[in-house]
Each structure stands twice: as structure tokens, then as C-alpha cells.
Structure 1
């Protein structure tokens, strides 16, 4: 069980830090409804995303791709990315280094 709070990041979307270290952080993003949005953004962190459940359409730079349970991919530092939830579910993201703005 995580000791970190569940934080709303938008309509029908929450974030919860699962574990952290200065070099690495793991975070669950839960999407409670189809159509929920993970807004387009970029950051200096390298990010790995694992789709635990649900289905999502991701924008990764200039491309769009759908992902479902068991899929994973890496987002390089500085790449603009975001998603739209197609089927409610959970993304498990890892960041290196840690996202201090999530603490």
C-alpha cells in the first residue's frame, strides 16, 4: 500500500506516487471514464509507460498510437506527449530522475 496521497489531475483522472527515489519514481495514473484526457505536455524526465488496464490513444511527438493492457513504451526527455482514455484503466509510469513536482 502506498503512503502517498491520490491527487486529481483533471476530470476523471488521478495520480498516485507508488514509490520514489531521487533517481527513479513510479506513479499510477487512473482514468475513471472514457474520454478522460492526459493533457499534452513535455518534461526533462525520461518516462516509461506501462498500460496496466484500459485502452488509450497516445500522442507521442507527431504520431498517434493506441495501446492496451500489457503494452509499454518509453518517452524520451523533451518529447511532447499526452493521451485520451478510450476504455477506463490505469497507466503505470516510471520517471528518471524523480518528478519532484509530484511530491
Structure 2
């Protein structure tokens, strides 16, 4: 069990840091309902995303793709990205360096 709190980030979306180090952070994003949104944004961190469960439509720069359990991808530093939940589930994101704003 993570020592970090579960934080609401949007309607039917929560975030929980699972592990943390100055050079790497692992975070679970849980989407509890179809239609829940991970808003479009960008950040200086390199991010990898692993779809633990559920289905999502991701926007990655100019590309839109649908992903499901077992899929993973890397989001380069500065790329605008976001998602819409198609089936409730969990995304596990890794950030390098860590997201200080999540602590």
C-alpha cells in the first residue's frame, strides 16, 4: 500500500503516487467512469504510460489512438497529451524526473 494520499484530479479521476525518487516517480491514475477526462496538458517530464485496465482514447500531439490493457507508450518532454476514458480503469505513469507538483 502506498504511503501517499489519493488525490482527486477531475470528476471520477484520482491520482496516487506509488513510489518516488528524485529521478523517477510512479503514479496510478484511476478513472472510475466512462467519459472521465484526463485534460490536455504538457510538462517538461518524459512520461511512460502503462494501461493496467480499462480502455482510453489518447491524444498525443496530433495523433489520436485507442489503448487497452497491456498497452504502453512514451510521451516525450513537452508533448501535449490527454485522454478520455472509454471503459473504467487504471493508468500507471512513470515520470522522469519526478513530478514535484505531485508531492
Q: Counterpart of 2:49 in 1: which secondary structure? A: strand
CA distance in 1, matches of 2:81, 2:20: 22
Partner of 1:69: 69
* Structure 2 unaligned blocks of 5 or more: none
RMSD, matched Cα: 0.2
* Structure 1 unaligned blocks of 5 or more: none
CA distance in 1, matches of 2:59, 2:26: 21
1:69, distance to aligned residue in structure 2 (A): 0.0
Partner of 1:38: 38
CA distance in 2, matches of 1:92, 1:53: 10
CA distance in 2, matches of 1:21, 1:82: 24
| Displaced runs of 4 or more, over 6 A | none
CA distance in 1, matches of 2:63, 2:28: 24
Offset from partner CA, 1:37-74 (integer Å, 9 cap, x none) = 00000000000000000000000000100000000000
CA distance in 1, matches of 2:39, 2:75: 15
Give the TM-score of the pair, scaled to structure 1.
1.00
The aligned length equals 103
